[in-house]
Amino acid sequence: MSRTLPVQKNDILDIVFEDLTHEGSGVAKVEGYPLFIPNGLPGEKAKVKVVKTNKNFGFGRLLELQEKSPYRVEAPCPIYKECGGCQLQHLNYEGQLLVKHKHVQDVLKRIGKIDAVVHPTIGMNEPWRYRNKAQVPIGEQEGGLIGGFYQQRSHQIINMEACLIQQEENDDVVRKVKEICQKYGVKAYNEERHKGELRHIMVRRGLVTGEMMIVLITRTNEITNKNKVVDEIAAEISGLKSIIHNVNNKKTNVIMGDITNVLWGQETITDYIGDVKFAISARSFYQVNPEQTKVLYDKALEYANLQGEENVIDAYCGIGTISLFLAKKAKKVFGVEIVPQAIEDAGKNARLNDIHNVDFAVGKAEEVIPNWYKEGNTADVLVVDPPRKGCDEALLQTIIAMKPKKVVYVSCNPATLARDLRVLEDGGYKTLEVQPVDMFPQTMHVEAVAQLVLTV
């Protein structure tokens, strides 16, 4: 029987890793056929076993490292190999920044045929303990509550006392809330049977203000011994401003449900990015790494190069984070966002900062902005910060028709960034430069800001 693939299951091979997948696995090629192998790093030589083959790619298992990368380190987290939260703890931080830069550069060239300057990735001075929000699934083990992260490719909870990318205070709070809930008989949610109460514990903390919010997410409308649980949490945890109850009674992987009530304290906490103050509710989208968010937004402002006379449109504006930064330098900013609660929060944040030259609209950017254009409203600068799927085609075509002098594209997915830049370049724009920013150290995620100018 002839071999249709250059490798077969159970083959033992000597390979050289060339790259990393978006999940952090090493990529090796045998006669052009890609093999994905966990725990390999670019440049390393290894002996591997093929464990599965598909038509276009296969999977392997690392048997022996024959030549290690100079960037390889021992992962400091004791559950790193089981937990799916991080992918790059075995790569030192210098190596992580190089990998992310190469990833953005390669994707822009391969997918978008974009020939722009891609600057070295801007990293953090301290790439640990940066996340200001913890949302921890809760389960039961030997009669006690456990909380942690889901094992890779499963819904098996791995118990965790500390997460090295969460702020330490959040770890302490999750641990204390688990103890209090267990003390008063609160039962964990059982996903398979759709029974029990407590699904997740969420902690949000203001990096600058230190204000803290705890959210108890349950399947049930009531919490066992609610008053005792709330009173003890409030008494035990310093800096606490808010205890929220969110009800999610659906059989779903979505964390939060539609019903949210304040159990103690206030509805929001506050934090600052630069000199802009934000009110953050339980369901607000707020960047989990405010320190690097400031770096990202500063770069977006630099690329916009506002002189004070421009009208600016901020597509996908969320709770107004970028809009309010832009408004301090622009004549007028128009923000649009599909989530009504986010627009409500954006309006509150504008008032909180006494910023009056910004208007927010609810709706799909790809519908609202074309309508604005039909009504004769145009922009000198247009900023987009879309979700991972990138910009809708209708929005891209409206940008091309509207012809703002500059477009600033903030991206959380280099692949869709490359695709969209290609469309904009074909429509008369030129990508001048791209700046990757590491918002999520120890993971494969990378954000980037691209600067485009109109050439026609």
Q: Torsions phi, psi of 226, nearest 5?
A: -55, -50
Residues 21 and 57: their CA atoms lie apart, in Å, by 12
Contact (CB, 8 A) for 132 and 288: yes
Do residues 287 and 438 touch, judged by C-beta distance below 8 A?
no
8 A C-beta contact, residue 160 and residue 79:
yes
Q: Contacts from 253-256 at CB under 8 Å and sequence distance 24+?
A: 255/135, 255/199, 255/200, 255/202, 255/217, 256/215, 256/217, 256/282, 256/283
Q: Are 233 and 244 in contact (CB under 8 A)?
A: no
Whole-number Å distance between alpha carbons of 95 and 101: 10
Residue in this structure with the two tokens 């071999």, named with its chain if needed: 3
Within 10 angstroms of residue 84's Cβ, the number of other Cβ atoms is 14
DSSP strand pairing (19-20 vs 26-30): antiparallel
How is residue 253 annotated by DSSP? S
CA distance 369 to 375: 10
DSSP strands (E only) in 296-428: 311-315, 332-337, 358-362, 381-384, 406-411
Contact yes or no for 266/242 (Cβ under 8 A): yes
Considering Cα of 120, then 125, then 127, then 133, what sign does the dihedral take? Answer: negative
* Catalytic residue ranges: 412
